[in-house]
Amino acid sequence: MERKVFRSRISVLIMAILLLPCVLWFRADNIFNPVTITLSLVILLFSGMRYVVTDEKIKFRIFWIIPGGSVLISQITSVSRSYIPFSAPAGSLKRLVILFKKNYKYPLCLISPVREQEFLDTLQKYNPKIKISVKNKSGWWRFWDWDI
């Protein structure tokens, strides 16, 4: 059984929004304040998000070892681009929307793998019926594969 691991993309904008309160409330004499601890946990959470693709499933790892669920690749109908800010196992707003067949346990899934094209190629390898319509936009604000 082949297994590929893709980490989640991390958005510069989301990290800046999360770092702002820490910078504003930071005091050198009180490094263990609640804001710093909460921010550290969020950064660890974002850096630990992974998508594990096996022959039949996409498994979500939220915090390196903590499983976050899985979906069957055979139930995927289409994949497209989205910037929807819904809650999802994704550290970026540049996401992929995965739509599933009717009557599946989930209607859709939002993820943001870093090696996006390789991820899409892997999905199509296991399910050639998946319709992929992902277009990449370019601009000066998009650098190092990060999206603001």
Tens digits of residue pLDDT in 52-90: 898 889 888 776 666 678 888 988 999 998 877 777 767
Q: pLDDT digit string (tens) for 10-34?
A: 777 777 777 777 667 666 556 666 7
pLDDT digit string, tens, across residues 74-131: 889 999 988 777 777 677 778 888 999 888 888 888 888 888 889 999 999 999 999 9
> Quick check: is 142 in a domain?
no
Which CATH number fits the domain that encloses residue 79? 2.30.29
pLDDT reading at 146 higher than 60? no
pLDDT tens, position by position, 40-53: 766 666 666 788 89
- Longest pairwise C-alpha distance within the chain: 58
The pLDDT, as a whole number, for residue 105 is 82
Domain span at residue 109 reads 4-133
Domain total of the chain = 1
Position 68 in a domain: yes
DSSP states of 98-128 as a string?
EEE-TTSS-SEEEE-BSSHHHHHHHHHHH-T
| Structural domain contains residue 8 | yes
Residue 141: C-alpha distances to residues 18, 81, 145, 147, 148 (Å): 19, 18, 10, 7, 7
**Rounded Cα–Cα distance for residues 90 and 92 (Å):** 6
Instruction: Say if 143 falls within a structural domain.
Output: no
What is the model's pLDDT at position 30? 63
140 belongs to a structural domain: no
